[in-house]
Amino acid sequence: MPELDFRAPRLFVDAALSPGQSVALERNQSNYLGNVLRLSAGESILVFNGRDGEWQAEIAGRKRPDSLTITAQTRPQDRLPDIAYVFAPLKHARLDYMVQKAVEMGASRLQPVLTRFTQVSRVNSERMRANVIEAAEQCGILSLAGVAEPIPLDRFVSQREAKRLLVFCDEAAKVGNPLQALQQGLAAPDGVDILIGPEGGFAEEERALLLRQPQILRLALGPRILRADTAGVAALALVQAALGDWARPDVKPG
């Protein structure tokens, strides 16, 4: 794994990156570099776009930073493990936290699903995408997780690829060793969907629907009931440790 530069500021830019390329800064990016970080023309930062790896860039602009000149690549583009985080959305700050932590844990796609006991019915997808970018900027992540629009749970189940492993985190499941269960002969060459329900849990008809799915592993996340955002972090850590790029850092699932 290439050594990360944790001191240099990192910025996501939605533009192609190559040596000599000039990239115009958005107003909020200019304000962040000039007024928050107090950087000026001639100083360097790191940039990425989710496609072309990480690059060093030099700030340009007379009165304030207004553009970047791409100089040299510092890391090649990587690929996230094929892990979809499927969850019943929460309210405001807890949803922000959930998205940020899923990105930090290496999820490649975020799929909100609406269940019978979901607390909210509307999700600000643009805010979710902004949280994905912020988490990636702060944590040295090069690939951006995709953000899908919310859909009802039954539609998600009917549309998902049957070959993918469905890790169903169910508070009503028999308590056992979840890491051991994930490690017992399971493989996920076609990807993993990790499903976390709402604070009120799954309705019985939803649980019955899920348990009829092929390629399903039903897990209890230990002897205590976890809040939904905590359960998401725990489940992602377990799957990454057993099947993802924590277990095999040089082999990317999917």
- CA separation for the pair 254, 78 (Å, rounded): 13
Segments forming the whole domain that contains residue 106 = 83-242
**Mean pLDDT, rounded, of the chain:** 91
Does 254 reside within a domain? no
- CA separation for the pair 248, 207 (Å, rounded): 32
What percent of the chain lies above the pLDDT cut of 70?
95
Q: Taking 50 as the threshold, does the pLDDT of residue 252 lie above it?
A: no
Does 38 reside within a domain? yes
pLDDT score for 114: 96
- CA separation for the pair 63, 77 (Å, rounded): 33
User: CATH no. for residue 141?
Assistant: 3.40.1280.10
What percent of the chain lies above the pLDDT cut of 90?
74
- pLDDT band (50, 70, 90) for residue 1: very low
> Among residues 198, 231, 210, 200, which one has the least CA distance to residue 102?
231
Per residue in 112-129, pLDDT (tens digit) is 999 999 988 789 999 999
Q: Taking 80 as the threshold, does the pLDDT of residue 186 lie above it?
A: no
> Among residues 81, 79, 104, 80, which one has the least CA distance to residue 189?
81
pLDDT score for 92: 83
Is the same domain home to 106 and 38?
A: no
